[in-house]
Amino acid sequence: SIASADMDLNQLEAFLTAQTKKQGGITPDQAAVIAKFWKNHRIKIHESLINQSRWDNVLKNMNWRVDLKAQSRHIDQINTPVAIVEMELGKNGQ
């Protein structure tokens, strides 16, 4: 719950206080250990969750351009912009 909500210190304190008051919950000593661990490793845990939730493919490169028609059978199609996008996908970590 702490990691998925990416709790700040105030939220963490309120959550752990509620857990200590819950029947069958955690002890105040356990809450202190959890709080210390979260304060020291919050960024690493958050980055790990983000990496686990990504798809396998990532965007490696992207090229784009806008072309204009210079000739056409119909006059209303001249100077009509056309966007061309090329995306290169690759496996995450490769």
Q: Does residue 74 have a pLDDT over 80?
A: no
Contact, 11 vs 37, CB < 8 A?
Answer: no
pLDDT in tens, 45-54: 988 888 777 7
DSSP 58: E
Amino acid 93: pLDDT: 63
pLDDT in tens, 6-46: 899 999 999 999 999 999 889 999 999 999 999 999 999 98
CA torsion sign for 37, 38, 40, 41 is positive
Per domain, the residue ranges of the chain are: 3-53, 58-90
SS3 of 13-42: HHHHHHHHHCCCCCCHHHHHHHHHHHHHHH
Cα separation, 18 vs 20, in Å, equals: 5
Mean pLDDT of 59-82: 83
Q: pTM value?
A: 0.54
Question: Can you tell me whether residue 2 is helix, strand or coil?
Answer: helix
Mean pLDDT of 82-93: 85
